[in-house]
Structure 1
Amino acid sequence: MELTVVMPCLNEAETVEVCVRKALACMEEHGIEGEVLIADNGSTDGSQQLARDAGARVVHVDAKGYGNALMGGIRAARGKYVIMGDADDSYDFGSLMPFVEQLRDGADLVMGNRFKGGIAPGAMPPLHRYLGNPVLSFVGRLFFPSKIADFHCGLRGFRRDSILNLGLQTGGMEFASEMVVRSTLAGYDVREVPTTLSPDGRSRPPHLRSWRDGWRHLRFLLLYSPKWLFFYPGIALMMIGLVAGTALTFGPVKIGQLAFDVDTLVGASAAMVIGFQSALFALFTKVYAAEEGFLPESRRVRKLISMVTLERGLVVGGLLALAGLVGLVMSLVHWQVRSWGALDPRESLRIVVPAATALIMSFQTIFASLFVSILGIRRTRESSVDVAARAAEEAAEALSREESAAATPQV
């Protein structure tokens, strides 16, 4: 079977039948061997029987949610290719050939673009059309090397085996973003074709919740991009803290009518510490996500990990700690010169704050190198297990050959 059209369904009695008939008619018209599969998520309005009467195959998916329903349908699909779309009659299931042609040409994922194909009046709320979809699609293209202009189009086609190999995990509406992001990161051939969007044929409100589901999409994009979530903000904070802290260590700084002194120096120190911690979290997240298969391995990250050894981390952390201790000794000397009496904070803080910042960052560096080393132990253990498994397989094969040779009659 070449094609399966998968439609998630939850109480779509008003529209599911017409969607099934349109998809089947399209496949019949173009000589496509295929099926329509309804992934039912617990309908109570008779949608299942209506779909069967129209010629669809129905599978029940227990796990609730848009993504769970679709994954249940994709796993149950019999076609080499899958085209998914909502069963609310908003997508044109009579115009599936642009998706099929791109899939036959070698594409792994073919996205519909509603903004290029045409959005009928009333088909998409203004909040989604002019803010939600454009902003989230822009964020997706910014965070990931993707050219897709409509990240959230519900009508899309893909190779079934390619999508199953990704191991998609989200169960809600953010499943739409995960498919595009994971396909892009995996290096898949992702293309886009124009499609249309019409007002859905239901009398009830849609399942989509604008702000809740929009936030879930944005949260997913952030969590899958440690660079934008942790690294870039962290580096920005560190640079601001370093520049401001260096300038204020030698005295007050005036810019026009504004005067910056030790209070700003404390803020600069906090920016340095927070930024450094954020950059470390970016490293931890990339390593963990690559190990667990959430994100593909990065050659640059692997190279960085090979450089961040426990010994080097201890040396760098030790040097920072030494610098901090020297600063604290200087602060004691400064206090002694003042006969152990009251100190002017504008003088003493210029010594104490940089020293304390160096001490804090020294321990952050040491702890970070220890944590990365722990992750390295896991990788080493897994590698050893793989080697042992291969050795066991080779031994079993050798034993099998010996037994086979012994059982062969000698002439």
Structure 2
Amino acid sequence: MSDLTLTILMPCLNEAETLAFCVRQAVTALRDNQVEGEVLIADNGSTDGSQQIAIDEGARVVNVPTRGYGAALIAGIEAARGKYVMMADADASYDFGHLPRFVPVLDSGYDLVMGNRFMGGIKPGAMPPLHRYLGNPVLSAIGRLFFRIPVRDFHCGLRAFRRDSILGLGLRTTGMEFASEMVVKSSLAGLRMTEVATTLSPDGRSRPPHLRSWRDGWRHLRFLLLYSPRWLFFYPGLVTFLVGFVISLFLIMGPQTVGRWTFDVDTLTYSLGLVLIGAHISVFAVSAKVFGTQEGFLPKNPSFERLFKFITLEVGLLFGCALLLTGAGILIYALMIWHATGYGELSPQRMLRLTLPSATAFMLGVEAIFGSFFLSLLGVNRR
């Protein structure tokens, strides 16, 4: 590895129309700002002569056989010779002349510096309304909510970072969701990040972009959800469980009237169903967290690890057995009532208020027991 300060990296797939302009702009930015650096093109199998254009303009080319935006950038980062890497698309939509806005911030100690197009300006026709007013704001807001990330433009293609810090994240997505993966994993790893203003110009190519709005938007959202078991599983599970539990307590003693509506055992049935669903989802939350930590794509959480010192397999088994005994006790009480009538006809509403909670306790007990074994199996390597 040489002592270069900066690698300007561009992924490339048939960018002959704009590549020469972008490489010249990048070379000029390095020269004018007296930065020791290189321009690196991560070519993803171009068939329009892009490789030779890049070489003729003074760039270095690395061939990446695995298709995909993320695959090209991962290979490019690995091949980069600079201490820092500044990446952007080779479609003339980003201004490499903004280099001075990024490098000094990295010199000050930040690991990742994002461009923000909404701060710097989006030129007419540069971003479709769907992306500008729905896709980018919504996905960026979800990212900030889930991961407490201090940037407002998650998907800006112009960004700069410390090469060794980003390599240490083990980035692996090969598609457009790579943009989200870099930001999310940087946050989870505790890297310092900030943003600076940049601009977005209309795409300089005559052909349609590689980006597919709905497909790639879903892939970004899917990634954000999968990397946040709390928001995907735990919070929905907890809310569902509590709503079902509160309604069940409200109805367990008898029908309740609110205004002109009367709620009885039918509502109780569905509320206990919410309790079961909430419990199932919560088990998924813990399982996903343990599995993600074991596989290395979620960081270790000291609070979560301490929790497992108290919530062990044995504690789970005892809790499950207690639920089974509770269900059995309610069932025995119901049988005693039936016996007292000579095993004759009973009030359905009265008996459902016993048998439904009993069945719910049985199911929760079984889930607690087998869920505890499953979590213990997932956590074998941890212990």
**Whole-Å Cα distance in 1 between the matches of residues 365 and 315 of structure 2?**
12
Determine whether 1:374 maps to 2:345.
no
Q: Assess if the C-alpha contact under 8 Å between 1:8 and 1:85 holds in 2.
A: yes
Shift of 1:7: 0.3
CA deviation after TM superposition for structure 1 residue 372, in Å = 2.3
Secondary structure at the residue paired with 1:254?
Answer: strand
Distance 2:151 2:52 in 1: 37
8 Å Cα contact 1:308-1:369 kept in structure 2 = no
Letter in 1 for 2:201: S
The offset of 1:310, in angstroms, is 1.4
Matched, 1:276 2:294: no
1:173 alignment partner, SS class: coil
Query: Structure 1 residue 295: deviation in Å?
Result: 1.0
Q: The residue matched to 2:96 in structure 1 has which SS?
A: coil
Matched residues, number: 380
1:128 is displaced (CA, Å) by 0.4
Q: Which whole-Å CA distance do the structure 2 matches of 1:76 and 1:268 have between them?
A: 57
1:127 corresponds to which residue? 130
RMSD: 1.0
- One-letter code aligned to 1:186: A
Q: Percent identity?
A: 60
SS in 2 for 1:377: coil
Partner of 1:39: 42
Amino acid at match of 1:292: E
Is 1:13 the counterpart of 2:10? The answer is: no
The residue number in structure 2 matching 1:397 is none
Distance 2:19 2:338 in 1: 81
In the other structure, the counterpart of 1:63 is 66
1:263-302 map, 5 Å: 263-302=266-305
Matches of 1:46 and 1:111 in 2, distance apart? 31
2:81 to 50, 67, 78: 78
1:260 aligns with 2:249: no
The within-5 A match list for 1:295-374 is 295-374=298-377
TM-score (norm 1): 0.91
Instruction: Please tell me the residue identity of whatever aligns with 1:254.
Output: T
2-structure distance, mates of 1:278, 1:266: 19
Q: Secondary structure at the match of 1:378?
A: coil
Residue number in structure 1 paired with 2:230:
227
- Give me the whole-angstrom Cα distance separating, in 1, the residues matched to 2:312 and 2:343: 43
Partners of 2:229 and 2:288 within 8 A in 1: yes
Mapping of residues 93-104 of structure 1, within 5 Å: 93-104=96-107
2:94: which partner in 1? 91
2:56 aligned partner: 53
- Aligned equivalents of 1:345, 1:92: Cα separation in 2: 73
The amino acid that maps onto 2:183 is V
Within 1, Cα distance between the matches of 2:367 and 2:316?
Answer: 10
d(CA) in 1 for partners of 2:306, 2:133: 42
Question: Residues of 2 paired with 1:256 and 1:292: CA distance?
Answer: 53
CA distance in 1, matches of 2:187, 2:124: 32
Deviation of residue 130 (structure 1)?
A: 0.5
SS of 2:380 mapped into structure 1: helix
Once the two structures are overlaid, the 10-residue window that deviates more, 138-147 or 302-311, is 302-311
Which amino acid in the other structure matches residue 226 of structure 1? Answer: P
For residue 138 of structure 1, what is the aligned residue in structure 2?
141
Q: TM-score, normalising length from structure 2?
A: 0.97
Counterpart code for 2:194: R
Runs of 4+ in 1 over 6 A off after TM superposition: none
Is the contact between residue 290 and residue 379 of structure 2 (CA under 8 Å) also seen in structure 1?
no
Give the whole-Å Cα distance in 1 for the aligned partners of 2:119 and 2:48: 35
State the shift of 1:334 in Å: 2.4
Q: Compute the displacement of 1:341 (Å).
A: 3.0
Q: Encode CA deviations 1:219-247: one digit per residue, 9 max, x unaligned.
A: 11011111100111111011111111111
Deviation for aligned residue 1:145: 1.7
User: Which residue in the other structure is 2:242 paired with?
Assistant: 239
Deviation string 1:197-217 (CA, Å, 9 cap, x unpaired) is 000100011111111111110
| Unaligned 5+ runs, structure 1 | 381-411
Alpha-carbon displacement from aligned partner over 1:322-373 (angstroms, at most 9, x marks no partner)? 0000111122122223332333321111000101111111111111221222
Find the aligned partners of 1:146 and 1:16 in 2 and give their Cα distance: 32
Residue identity in the other structure for 1:115: F
Alignment gaps of 5+ in structure 2: none
1:196 maps to 199
Moved more, 303-312 or 37-46: 303-312
Task: Give the Cα separation in 2 of the matches to 1:265 and 1:190.
Answer: 49
Q: Is contact 1:287–1:301 with CA below 8 Å preserved after alignment?
A: no
1:388: which partner in 2? Answer: none
Indicate the SS of the match to 1:328: helix
- Secondary structure of 1:80's counterpart equals strand
For the 8 Å contact 2:330–2:358, the answer to whether it is kept is yes
Which residue identity does 1:268 align to in structure 2? S
Q: What secondary structure sits across from 1:94 in the alignment?
A: helix
Quote the residue 1:402 is aligned against. Answer: none
Asked if 2 retains the 8 angstrom alpha-carbon contact of 1:283 and 1:301, the reply is: no
Q: Matches of 2:125 and 2:379 in 1, distance apart? A: 55
